[in-house]
Structure 1
């Protein structure tokens, strides 16, 4: 019996640590769940970095404008561009009849680096002119009017505010003739000639060397209406000198007439004296002859 008691006591001592660990495990609170970790922000790759915004154009594109091609380096057909854009039939006709289109095309070829800018009035703008106005101009003025709508450099739609006024045109035959003033602010570009104030309403066509813009009025140059300088009158002979010459001539005529009259009077006196002398001699001879011997 003592052996059984001893065996039970040993067994109890051996099993007590196990029961203690189990009880502790059951009585201790469960650990709180860990918060989910946030993923580290990824840096954008170079392809996703936004590129700087291009300069905002001052002139909007027109809905009917031909597709622009900034990288185009081929030959531009101005008439074809205007015809495709529509509403420029009058301008096309005048460019052809005055043959200014030939000059513009030649200018575009020879100034590839500088380019050209055409300010194109539509048919409605030409209809605002006085009836018969264009035909009332001489041939030279008709050409100058069309040349006045061409700037001999390329101006992009976002670059009008960089122009320095006054701006020369293709019609400018001197640094002070046929000029325009360009004012750009906001989304508006205005053209002033001193006679007409027009607005560029949109882009008709643009590439690297040629730009065509629609203007709402025909640009009439100030040179057509300002008075021309009066030519100096030709020099005339001085009046006093002429009077002196006339006076001398008149005096000479008077003196000549007086001499003539005096000569005539002397001749008459001489003639009368001769007649009287002859008469006296005749009477004397008659008297002597009649005396008695």
Structure 2
């Protein structure tokens, strides 16, 4: 019995030693690296234009920095290369640098939203983009059963694919570039006269000028005619008197 007890003790010590050695030699799990915002887009492909705008406007680096400190998170709508190719030719080049920054920021919400969240948000949802007056540009969301549409007031498209959806970051693919309605709002100047109105006005002015330049107006003619009739009556009476006296 003593022999069995010794053997059991030796075995226990041996197992403990093996567990200790294994724990010391087993590699520690690799720490997860920091969340790479642009890396997610680059890995998924077909976002070349959007990545270029994120880099040129420095919005990509700003989002990356703020991801380490934000408590609300971010939601990004990433237009595909086809979305940019389908834009009106020259539209992007017509934007000044400030407008390009606003365009990119218009695709970023300053809060983490799942697709389910977006079905029940209160519209309009504020984006990171603001105008020169400081007013934030908004987006509107509609949908059900995780089928969500996003509208800028100029374009509307479906949110098709979640590239990443884990707080603090959600990235969704969109097949159209979200154009802010404010980009297309123009001041409404006083209505200019139509060509027909201009023509009629011009004709009237020409007619008046012609009447003044070429001869007396109708009222002047009627006055002249009255004076001529009066003079005729006077002359007639004078001649009658002379005949009577003779």
The bucket for the TM-score relative to the shorter chain is: 0.5 to 0.7
Residues 79, 224 of structure 1: alpha-carbon distance in 2 compared, 3 angstrom cutoff: same
User: Displacement, 1:94?
Assistant: 1.1
Aligned residue in 1 for 2:150: 191
Instruction: Say if 2:61 is the partner of 1:107.
Output: no
Cα distance, 1:186 vs. partner? 2.7
User: Offset at 1:175?
Assistant: 7.9
Out of 119, 123, 126, which is 1:161 matched to?
Answer: 119
Distance 2:94 2:167 in 1: 37
Instruction: Please state which structure has a larger fraction of its residues in strand.
Output: 2
- The correspondence of residues 188-227 of structure 1 with structure 2, limited to 5 A, is 188-227=147-186
Separation in structure 2 between the aligned mates of residue 138 and residue 176 of structure 1, nearest angstrom: 19
Q: Name the SS of the counterpart of 2:154 in structure 1.
A: coil
Structure 1 residues 176 and 183: CA distance shift in structure 2, 3 A: farther
RCO higher in structure (CA 8 A, sep ≥6): 1
> 1 CA distance for matches of 2:77 and 2:154?
16
Which residue number corresponds to residue 272 of structure 1? none
In the superposition, relative to structure 1, how do residues 143 and 197 fare at CA in structure 2: closer, same or farther (>3 Å)? Answer: same
CA distance in 2, matches of 1:197, 1:79: 25
Structure number with bigger Rg = 1
CA contact (8 A) 1:172 1:179 kept: no
Q: Give every structure 1 segment of 4 or more consecutive aligned residues whose post-TM-superposition deviation is greater than 4 Å.
A: 173-176
> Which of 90, 111, 125 lines up with 1:132 in the alignment?
90
Unmatched tracts of structure 2, length 5 or more: 1-30, 190-246
For the Cα contact (< 8 Å) 2:128–2:136, is it kept in 1?
Answer: no
SS in 2 for 1:94: helix
Structure 1: give runs of 5+ residues left out of the alignment.
1-71, 231-293
Contact in 2 for aligned 1:168/1:175 (Cα 8 Å): no
Q: How many residue pairs are counted as aligned between the two chains?
A: 158
Residue of structure 2 equivalent to 1:178: 137
SS of alignment partner, residue 190 of structure 1 = strand
Q: Is 1:88 matched up with 2:47? A: yes
Alpha-carbon distance in 2 for matches of 1:115, 1:229: 39
Q: Using a 3 Å threshold, how does the CA distance of structure 1 residues 85 and 91 change in structure 2: closer, same or farther?
A: same
User: What is the TM-score when the length of structure 1 is the normalising length?
Assistant: 0.51
